[in-house]
Structure 1
Amino acid sequence: MINPSAPGWVEKFFFEQNNSQQSMVDNAKLFYENTRNTGFLVGYTTHFVTTKTIHTKGLKIGELTKIALLNTLFGTYQLDKNNRNQEDFIKKCNTFYEELHPKESNLLDIILPHDSSSSKLEKFLSSRVQTNDNIISKNFSHILTNALLFIDVLAFKKYLTKGTIPDKYLKKTEEIIVNIVSLALKTKETKTKYDDLLQKLFESSVRYTKFNKFEILSLENLDLSYFEDDYEKYYLIDMAGMAMWNDAKMEKSEELFLYQLAEKLTISKYFVEKSITDMNMFLISNKDKIPYFNFSNPVKHFYDQTTQNVHTLISRNKNRLLLEITQSKELMKLLSQSTKRDLSPEEKKKVRNQLLDICKTIPSLTIFIIPGGSLLLPILIKFIPQLLPSAFNENLSED
């Protein structure tokens, strides 16, 4: 059994999967659709597109994702080079990821001169898969980050064709995806406060750039000419479908959006129909196994679960938190007023900055300063007055 948490797993993968009995990946559209059916595109892999079955029992989501990423990259290599030369594939993967990571990257520091090519690739793949055990990844963000892993495949496809990663390709691709997600959520007939959170989670999951805050008013205003490859277009449609599935159903307006997007990308209606069908089949087949899909609104579940976790953290650290907060009467006053009125943008910025400074001094609350952690600050702000009402009242009465 392949164990992606143990050294040597890449070599074992190829020992089991790359022999003369294995068939060549030669149908690009079929390979993409089969990959979609594994769940890899939506960040939760259940099986793999291989001739020989890879047993998944006992493997964690991060381990499954590592195998899926390696296998999808290898399939992409076969489609481009029309061979299964594992040595050349591993070499090209390593040079691809070396180009992907800047020279000052800490990752390159842990790749030792005596590491074998397969060992280097293992380290690269581990760095790509989001497995951090924090409040964000436990609930939702790792699904989004791992769903965006297919951007690696798209970039590798470009690399194989051009010999280099096009300038700003990763940044541009992410921005287009987040814009599409934003537009897709706006088409929903039944909107909830969690739709905005879903969009922010997508924005917080980007790797290569801080998302530019400009508003795309309609699909017609969005320039998609940058996407020329079919895989890029397929993926964009599937990601839009994934975003709109957060309420576990596809409304007519959402279907229409996907068809309009396909028309703009010059992709057939048949692909959209199959995308919707495949997603539906995947959810029905796996909803009992995947906690993310066990809820009518998984973003609401994320919010509820995260709210409870933040509540627990505040309760455990309330004495230290109170001590830090009481040193700033301005912060105390603003937090109290936030329960009665909407703070101005300037006031919100003051609260945010002062709370982040406090969180830096309390180890258990450093989750709020990690990437994406600022999304939890409104929950923190909401709970502080509720948990410490007497303390707030006493201090406020002194003003």
Structure 2
Amino acid sequence: MINPSTSGWIDKFFYKQKFSEQTVAETAESFYNKVRDTGFIYGHIISFETQNAIPTKGWFKEEISKVALLNTLFGVFVVTKKEFDSEKFISEAVAFYNQMNPQGFNLFKKILPKNNSSLTLEKIIDERVQTNDSIISKNFSHLVTNALLFMDVLAFRQYLIHGAIPEKYLKKFEETIVNIVTLALRIKSNKTQYDDLLIKLFEASIRYSKFSKDSIQNFDSLQLDYFTNELEKKYLIDIAGMALWSDGIIENNEAYFLHQLAEKLKISDDFVTLSIEHTNAFITKHKKEIPYFNYSNPVKHFYDQTTQSVVTLISRNKNRLVKEIIQSKELMLLLAYSTRRDLDEKEKKKVKKQLLDICKTVPSLTIFLLPGGSLLLPILIKFIPTLLPSAFNENLDNDD
């Protein structure tokens, strides 16, 4: 099993999948349909389109996104180049990202080691799937940041064909997506609390341009002639459909907007019908798992989403954490008391200080030291007693 947070995972991914033993038979249409089925287009990944299944139990969202981005980039490489050479793909992907240098993205100039392409690509992908928001808002922006990752795939296709990313390609794509989403939401009959949020999430996730809301006034002013590939056109329609779905209903005027968009892009009406059906089926099935659609109670949703992430993080570092806690008799005693009564303010401060000191010694737990990290400490404190309940009981018995 691969671990996307451990060095060498890309080489292990290709070794496990054994792509070289397969034949090239993928078409652009089948590739897009499979990618959409995984949820990658919508920014909520539920599976990978791979030869051999990849178990993801206990993975973080970012880890799932890493593998999905790698696999989708490789998929478009196969479709475009008609070959399964993983080494050539890795080399091309690194060269592509070295050329792609969005605002605020200086990582690509610093990545080491330069003599190992797969490790370099790991570093790039790791940075690429991260949102730039605080811990609290990260769960909400993750959906859109992931949905826009398909732009990387489309830009990579352009790079493979032309040997370079066409000038202003990514900037034009970002601006077009935000323009389409803004226009789509403007024509909705039933406005919801999600509409402004979605626009804000898209605007917060763009990396290549400073977008102005005033830059688009009406449908006729949309400039879509720049996009000539079927993958680009289908993606734009699916993104618009996702935006319109926010109230759970695609009304006649909204469907008409999608058909207008398809006509302008020279895409068949049949695709629009299938897009609406697929988007409705996917979001209806997975709505409870998608942060954007749970925004009505952001505090509860943040807690639910974050609790699982913290529990996974603690479980992975269980041995080191337990060792550090056992060395502090006072902390052990206070945590034991916390399972039977509420700690007073002085005790809470002691627990917080000592736990933060421990987190400084465990690299993976430094998340608790970041802005907003202190909000996660109650989750950590609540979960710790389950790691070694017998030790806590012994401390209480001895104290009595």
- TM-score of the superposition, structure 1-length normalised? 0.71
- Cα separation, 2, equivalents of 1:106 and 1:190: 42
CA contact 2:244–2:254 (8 Å) conserved in 1: yes
Matched, 1:37 2:37: yes
Quick check: 77-86 or 94-103, which moved more? 94-103
- How far has the Cα of 1:209 moved from its partner? 1.3
- How far has the Cα of 1:128 moved from its partner? 0.6
Name the counterpart of 1:198: 198
Name the counterpart of 2:28: 28
C-alpha spacing 1:51/1:184, structure 2 compared with 1 (3 Å): same
- How far has the Cα of 1:364 moved from its partner? 5.3
- Cα separation, 2, equivalents of 1:135 and 1:191: 28
Q: Which digits, 9 at most, give the CA deviation of each residue in 1:156-199, with x for residues without a partner?
A: 01000110011111111100000000001012110135422321
- How far has the Cα of 1:4 moved from its partner? 0.7
Name the counterpart of 1:262: 262
Q: Give 3-state SS (helix, strand or coil) of 1:58's partner.
A: coil
Quick check: 190-199 or 168-177, which moved more? 190-199
Read off the aligned partner of 1:112 and give its amino acid letter. Answer: L
Name the counterpart of 1:292: 291
- Cα separation, 2, equivalents of 1:249 and 1:23: 42
Give the 5 Å matches for 1:56-71: 56-71=56-71
- Cα separation, 1, equivalents of 2:300 and 2:251: 24
Read off the aligned partner of 1:11 and give its amino acid letter. Answer: D
Q: Give 3-state SS (helix, strand or coil) of 2:12's partner.
A: helix
CA contact 1:74–1:89 (8 Å) conserved in 2: yes
- How far has the Cα of 1:108 moved from its partner? 3.3
Name the counterpart of 2:312: none
Where structure 1 has 5 or more consecutive residues not aligned to the other structure, the ranges are: 307-362, 367-399
Name the counterpart of 1:376: none
CA contact 1:111–1:123 (8 Å) conserved in 2: yes
Name the counterpart of 1:278: 278
CA contact 1:174–1:206 (8 Å) conserved in 2: yes
Q: Give 3-state SS (helix, strand or coil) of 2:281's partner.
A: helix
- Cα separation, 2, equivalents of 1:84 and 1:68: 17
- How far has the Cα of 1:205 moved from its partner? 1.2
- Cα separation, 2, equivalents of 1:54 and 1:275: 27
Name the counterpart of 1:168: 168
C-alpha spacing 1:256/1:189, structure 2 compared with 1 (3 Å): same
Q: Give 3-state SS (helix, strand or coil) of 2:214's partner.
A: coil
C-alpha spacing 1:286/1:104, structure 2 compared with 1 (3 Å): closer
Read off the aligned partner of 1:263 and give its amino acid letter. Answer: E
- Cα separation, 2, equivalents of 1:257 and 1:301: 30
Q: Give 3-state SS (helix, strand or coil) of 1:208's partner.
A: coil
Name the counterpart of 1:339: none
- How far has the Cα of 1:125 moved from its partner? 0.6
- Cα separation, 2, equivalents of 1:301 and 1:269: 37
Matched, 1:249 2:249: yes
CA contact 2:2–2:13 (8 Å) conserved in 1: yes
Read off the aligned partner of 2:145 and give its amino acid letter. Answer: T
- Cα separation, 1, equivalents of 2:173 and 2:297: 28
- TM-score of the superposition, structure 2-length normalised? 0.71
Count of aligned pairs: 311
Q: Which digits, 9 at most, give the CA deviation of each residue in 1:224-270, with x for residues without a partner?
A: 11111111101100110111122222222211111111111010111
Where structure 2 has 5 or more consecutive residues not aligned to the other structure, the ranges are: 303-369, 374-400
- How far has the Cα of 1:22 moved from its partner? 3.2
- Cα separation, 2, equivalents of 1:135 and 1:153: 27
- How far has the Cα of 1:141 moved from its partner? 0.9
CA contact 1:141–1:201 (8 Å) conserved in 2: yes
- Cα separation, 2, equivalents of 1:213 and 1:284: 30
- Cα separation, 2, equivalents of 1:31 and 1:191: 34
Matched, 1:13 2:13: yes
RMSD of aligned residue pairs (Cα, Å): 3.0
Q: Which digits, 9 at most, give the CA deviation of each residue in 1:306-345, with x for residues without a partner?
A: 8xxxxxxxxxxxxxxxxxxxxxxxxxxxxxxxxxxxxxxx
CA contact 2:143–2:290 (8 Å) conserved in 1: no
- Cα separation, 2, equivalents of 1:103 and 1:88: 28
Matched, 1:158 2:158: yes
Quick check: 203-212 or 215-224, which moved more? 215-224
C-alpha spacing 1:19/1:178, structure 2 compared with 1 (3 Å): closer
C-alpha spacing 1:232/1:104, structure 2 compared with 1 (3 Å): closer
- Cα separation, 1, equivalents of 2:283 and 2:106: 38
Name the counterpart of 2:99: 99
Q: Give 3-state SS (helix, strand or coil) of 1:55's partner.
A: coil
Q: Give 3-state SS (helix, strand or coil) of 1:140's partner.
A: helix
CA contact 1:25–1:78 (8 Å) conserved in 2: no
CA contact 1:26–1:79 (8 Å) conserved in 2: yes
- How far has the Cα of 1:104 moved from its partner? 9.2
- Cα separation, 2, equivalents of 1:267 and 1:201: 27
- How far has the Cα of 1:302 moved from its partner? 4.6
